[in-house]
Amino acid sequence: MVKKQKIFLIGARACGKTSLGRAFAKALQWHFVDTDALLQQEAACSVATYVQKHGWAAFREFESHILQKAAKEHHVIATGGGMVLREENRYFMRAEGCVFFLQAPVDILVERLRFDPEHEQRPSLTGQGLVEEVATVLLERTPLYVATAHVVLEAQAPLELLLKTAISQYHSL
Ligand code: S3P
């Protein structure tokens, strides 16, 4: 039996975690938080500036701390795309709540990232071009997203349909 007190949204950059998370929280009348937003608030700077100053290893450490903090105070939590990289985070999310993976193919993510790159929140992870980076990152992380998730959703679906599916999956867990 899955614990239902919290909902975690995982998936790659631009898969729609924040939009679905907000809608999910509104529908359930639960609190919502996005770990990137909370991290930027705590650090008082953007992800790009934080990474530039302290590096990715420090960012991952901080991000794990933010996950714990977010889970104490909120019930629907949209996570940064790399939250699953640490085993402790994967274990924590699976054990503490229902985990939804928003799955999307490379071309859809690339299109969304071209349209809305959010450079301050999304500095380059690999130094590659956009298409190569999204493909590389998905190849590495998809098994982690799948292993962590209780439910996999197709992120391309319209938000309204996604929400309906997510709510019905949540109630059936
Ligand atoms: C990252 C995704 C970003 C942000 C940071 C690292 C990643 O979050 O946490 O730039 O490693 O994929 P979003 O998935 O919300 O864009």
Residue 11 alpha carbon, nearest atom of ligand 1: 14
Per-residue pLDDT of 25-37, as tens digits, reads 999 999 999 999 9
Answer whether residue 3 shows pLDDT above 90: no
> pTM to 2 decimals?
0.97
Average pLDDT, the chain: 96
Tokens 């701390």 map to which residue? 65
Ligand 1 center from residue 81 Cα (angstroms): 4
Q: What are phi and psi of 14, to 5 degrees?
A: 70, 20
% of the chain residues with pLDDT over 70: 98
Per-residue pLDDT of 105-129, as tens digits, reads 999 999 999 999 899 999 999 999 9
Question: In this structure, are residues 85 and 60 in contact, taking their beta carbons and an 8 Å threshold?
Answer: yes
Tell whether ligand 1 has an atom less than 6 A from the beta carbon of residue 136. Answer: no
